[in-house]
Amino acid sequence: MSDAPGIPPGASLVPSAAQAALLSAPSVPSATSAASAATGPISVHRRVGSSSLRVFPIALSGASFGWTADERATTSILDRFLELGGDFIDTADSYAGGRSEIMIGNWMRRRGARDRLTIATKVGKSADNPGLSARSVTAAVTASLSRLGVEAIDLLYLHVDDPTVPFDETLAAVDGLIRAGKVRHFGGSHHIADRLVAARIASGQLGFASMVALQNQYHLLHRDEVEGALGLVAAQLDLGIMPRFALAAGFLAGRYRTRADLEGSARGATASRYLNRRGLRVLSAVDRVADDLGTHPAAVSLAWLLSRPRVVAPVVGVSAPEQLDAVMAAPSLGLGRHELTELDRASA
């Protein structure tokens, strides 16, 4: 995407306090927004930014569906997620070449579950419709609707930031899809702070729908990005944050503790980057908190994320349905000041 109209190339777009006031009204936490530290269990169901969407605060990732999880495993995982109260499913048109969307769509149809779910998908990375030109976005959404078997996508993410396409072209395409009832709300993924501000300014100037959500990497071992300028802009623009790679490819769930644990794992290469002194220090702190509270490391790692400002629902993938028990326990796990301080210090 190119710079928004009227914005000099290369100029900083991170707003000052006065500029931010012009971009959006002050963000007011809803009754289901994140609880402050040491206030007990985190309340269930949260509003996605400024949208009308309210979701259970764990999003089930469909990244493994059609890749490491076959039809039977995918069905078991989705069934267990629904049984435990989950209602927010996250996928992308590029996951397993579209097979993830197909599997989710088939399962929804068999279970008659569409009306109970919020479906998020992403466009911009598929081989068939790459990038964010108007043609690509429109074709990608049409294909995703068909694979999912739905009339509308609840939350559409722009999976890339495409500098080759003018902002107004992409925003006009998305706005047209929203007006046509094919998309309800949209957000960004892998976007930096300046680009989010540029998108809001362009949307305001052109009268288009604005982003309501942001999906970027965020977890105990990757904090600087979201806790810096990106988080400031998300707050000013009232964007809900959906942390992706929320468990650091399984490392923060305690799955990988030695080099031997990495062998034979599809995510071993990604997790290996955390198997170092800092990573093991953080995991040790997670283990201590989990032991003190009688819970699983995955629940602690996700509960920490859910205590952070603007976080709505970490995006979490599992390889087996039984792993969901610990994941889905996170929203009801109250971390006190002592636990939060220990985790903050270990991961600083």
* Amino acid, res. 13: L
Which is higher by pLDDT, 245 or 10?
Answer: 245
Interatomic CA distance for residues 226 and 166, integer angstroms = 25
Q: Does residue 21 carry a pLDDT above 60?
A: no
Say how many CA atoms lie within 13 Å of 253 toward its Cβ. Answer: 23
**Strands (DSSP E) found in 197-337:** 213-215, 240-241, 315-316
Residue 344, burial from CB neighbour count under 10 angstroms (0-12, 13-18, 19+):
middle
Which is higher by pLDDT, 310 or 37?
Answer: 310
Say how many CA atoms lie within 13 Å of 83 toward its Cβ. Answer: 10
DSSP single-letter state for residue 204:
H
DSSP SS3 for 286: helix
Record the tokens describing residue 34, joined without a space: 């994140």
For the chain, give me the number of helices (H) and strands (E)?
13, 10
pLDDT at 274: 95
Q: pLDDT band at 265, cuts 50/70/90?
A: confident
CA-closest candidate to residue 175, choices 206, 209, 143: 209
Residue 9 domain flag = no
DSSP single-letter state for residue 49:
T
Q: Across residues 297-309, what is the average pLDDT?
A: 98
b/e for 205-242, b at 16 or more Cβ within 10 A? eeebbbbbbbbbbbbbbbbeebeebbbbbbbbbbbbbb
Q: What is the pLDDT of residues 137-173, one digit of tens each?
A: 999 999 999 999 999 999 999 999 999 999 899 999 9
Residues labelled catalytic: 95
Q: Does residue 178 carry a pLDDT above 80?
A: yes
Q: pLDDT band at 270, cuts 50/70/90?
A: confident
Residue 331, burial from CB neighbour count under 10 angstroms (0-12, 13-18, 19+):
buried
Residue 198 domain flag = yes
pLDDT at 6: 34
Interatomic CA distance for residues 186 and 120, integer angstroms = 9
Residue 334 domain flag = yes
DSSP SS3 for 169: helix
Number of domains in the chain: 1
Percent of the chain at pLDDT > 90 equals: 83
Residue 101 domain flag = yes
Record the tokens describing residue 347, joined without a space: 């991961």
Number of residues assigned to the chain = 348
Interatomic CA distance for residues 128 and 340, integer angstroms = 44
Interatomic CA distance for residues 322 and 331, integer angstroms = 17
Q: What is the pLDDT of residues 199-228, one digit of tens each?
A: 999 999 999 999 999 999 999 999 999 999
Q: What is the pLDDT of residues 83-132, one digit of tens each?
A: 999 999 999 999 999 999 999 999 999 999 999 999 999 999 999 999 99
pLDDT at 280: 97
Residue 13 domain flag = no
Record the tokens describing residue 179, joined without a space: 């007006």
Residue 29 domain flag = no
Record the tokens describing residue 195, joined without a space: 């680009």
Q: pLDDT band at 19, cuts 50/70/90?
A: very low
Q: Across residues 171-192, what is the average pLDDT?
A: 97
Q: What is the pLDDT of residues 31-82, one digit of tens each?
A: 333 333 343 445 589 999 999 999 999 999 999 999 999 999 999 999 999 9
Percent of the chain at pLDDT > 70 equals: 88
Q: Which domain holds residue 115?
A: 35-347
Residue 181 domain flag = yes
Residue 240 domain flag = yes
Record the tokens describing residue 189, joined without a space: 């993924």
pLDDT at 334: 86
Torsional sign, CA 28, 32, 34, 38? positive
Interatomic CA distance for residues 137 and 172, integer angstroms = 10
CATH number of the domain where residue 85 is located: 3.20.20.100
- The chain-wide mean pLDDT, for the chain, equals 89
Interatomic CA distance for residues 53 and 69, integer angstroms = 28
pLDDT at 266: 81
